[in-house]
Amino acid sequence: MSKRNYVGALDIGTTTVRFHIIDRQGTTIASTAEKLQLLYPQPGHVEIDPDELWQLVVRVMRNTFMESGFCPEFIAGLGISTQRCSFTTWNALTGHHFHNFITWKDLRANKLVKEWNSSYQTRGLRIGSRLIYTFLREHRYLLMSGFKFMNSQITLRLLWALQNVQELQDEAKKGNALFGCIDSWLLYKFTVGFSEIIYSLPTGKHVTDVSSAAATGIFDPFAMNWSTLMMSMADQSASMFGSGCLNTGDLKITLGTGTFVNVNTGSKVHTSTSGMYPVIGWRIRGEVVYMLEGAWNDTGSIVEWAKRIGLINQLAETVDIANSVKDSEGVFFVPGFSGLHGPINDYTAAAGFIGIDLTTRKAHIVRAMLESIVYGIVLIFEILTRETNHSYNKIRVDGGVSANDFVLQLIADLTGIMVERATSTEMSILGAAFAAGIQCGSTTVGKIINNAANKFLTPVTLELGGKSPVYIDNTADLEISVKRILWGKCVNGGQTCIAPDYVLCTEEVQNKFIEKAKQILKEWYTDK
């Protein structure tokens, strides 16, 4: 029997790098995570050192293998989920990078964004696209008629690099410069051969994935004309995939460093003139699935800022603080550390509080900060509702901030839709693992994803040869017995031959069994 029954899942977030070893049932067997250091060399500049990132990736993967006792030979494939729109450039001849990763939160191109958005060329593009759309009715021209450059797009940050990094300028003129996001850089490093190791000749593959490329602003999702490697995946695409948002109209919100609201639009590219933008969810075995996305850059960063200035200690405590007052007493927080994204699109905006007076308390400020996260989501949701024909009856939510009950309850209250918290706050790493599993020919991945998409279906135990009773006598160790019985009943939705149908015991044991079962289930699944 082959030992290659596992997949590796590597997740490069904005602040954390994680590596998981996952089996064919979607269970994490081993994992390691380490913090990723962001660099702030100048105001508005947010960078990552490519060499430090690579060393961190290698260390996290090596530690996972060493601590688990697994060998790399057990891994059938590797799925990679990365933050989008963080890029670097490097020398095609030497493999040496010209500059650090310029991340998606970087604002160095702000002046260029303003200049290009007000330029005659951009205005002409909008007017011309509107005229062409009037005659041809092709959706790409409708999208271009409302086009605006944004700092989050790579386009003008790349232009900044070409204008300001002399070595990049020189090698680009010679045709020796390569460009890529984090997925491209990692795949390049992963595919280095012995020629580079021994002779210092670069042999890494310069490839990318459509889900990452489509978010850069320099890839046409309508034309689909980039060659791709299908084992990498942008973080929001992986999160959608891992959350089981596989059907047209499925809606998912990720509350991480930023807020990302995504809706599955199926095989159609949805054009928006209100600040939303179409991206590619995934392409697996030739089938392309698109998403419509709205985003705010500052979510987890709001929490981190509040912790840094001593306003709070941990995210968990903000629930009680916010609920200690009936409302924010007219205090509002503008979450503009990185400007305000679509549909507002004001990159000159800054963060700040409005409405503070002498009666304002800490609880009002904390509540206003949490409310600001939700107000941005509701603004995007209203546009999605207006622009799409989908009726939304459930919102799946993941990401670190999704652990906050106050935020999720307010989302449900203001949208009027049931909010479902993901079983894991890090669904992107599961999505990357599932995609890798499909590429490796796993026959169980589809079932796992389907279960995620249909969480509220009630599983039943297969009856093979009759009922399965279990008897507990008065001398049994309840701690061990109850755990084993519940494990047999809960694992794989009860679809196991050891899943009991009922328990036979005395009345004396019955009450103890029930109390112990409640305690164990609470430990496993919490109160939620």
Residue 189 lies in a domain: yes
The C-alpha atoms of residue 492 and residue 103 are separated, in whole angstroms, by 40
The residue from 73, 287, 463, 507 that is catalytic is: 463
Same domain, 180 and 250: no
Domains held by the chain: number: 4
List CB contacts of 162: < 8 A, sequence separation 6 or more. 168, 169, 172
List CB contacts of 407: < 8 A, sequence separation 6 or more. 255, 370, 373, 374, 401
Same domain, 430 and 481: no
Same domain, 338 and 481: no
Give the end of a domain, one of 146, 173, 204.
146
Same domain, 256 and 373: yes
The C-alpha atoms of residue 279 and residue 215 are separated, in whole angstroms, by 6
Same domain, 94 and 194: yes
List CB contacts of 361: < 8 A, sequence separation 6 or more. 325, 329
What CATH number did the domain enclosing 358 receive?
3.30.420.40
The C-alpha atoms of residue 285 and residue 229 are separated, in whole angstroms, by 11
Q: Is 463 a catalytic residue?
A: yes
Where in the sequence is the domain holding 167, given as residue range(s)?
6-107+151-230
Same domain, 102 and 113: no
Residue 1 lies in a domain: no
Give the end of a domain, one of 460, 485, 504.
460
DSSP 264-300: EEETSPPP-SSS-EEEEEEEETTEEEEEEEEEES-SH
Same domain, 87 and 121: no
Q: How many residues are given for the chain?
A: 528
- Per-residue confidence of the chain (528 residues) as pLDDT tens digits? 356 678 888 999 888 899 998 887 778 888 999 999 999 999 889 999 999 999 999 999 999 998 888 888 888 888 888 888 899 999 988 889 999 999 988 989 888 888 877 776 666 766 676 666 676 666 655 666 566 777 778 888 988 999 999 999 999 888 899 999 999 999 899 887 544 444 455 567 888 877 777 767 666 665 565 433 333 444 555 555 555 667 788 888 988 888 888 888 887 777 666 667 777 776 766 677 888 888 887 888 898 899 999 999 999 899 999 999 999 999 999 988 877 876 777 777 889 999 999 999 999 999 999 999 999 999 988 888 888 877 788 888 888 888 899 999 999 999 999 998 876 545 555 555 555 555 555 545 555 555 554 553 444 434 444 567 788 888 888 888 888 888 877 765 555 566 677 788 888 888 888 888 888 888 877 765
Same domain, 137 and 90: no
Same domain, 318 and 272: yes
Give the end of a domain, one of 189, 206, 230.
230
Same domain, 321 and 426: yes
Tell me if the pTM is above 0.85. no
Give the tokens for residue 477: 């160790």
Q: 28, 53, 49: which is closest to 39 by C-alpha?
A: 49
Q: Return the exposure string of 152-161: e unless at least 16 CB atoms fall within 10 Å of the residue's CB, then b.
A: bbbbbbbebb
Same domain, 48 and 95: yes
Give the tokens for residue 116: 């290009």
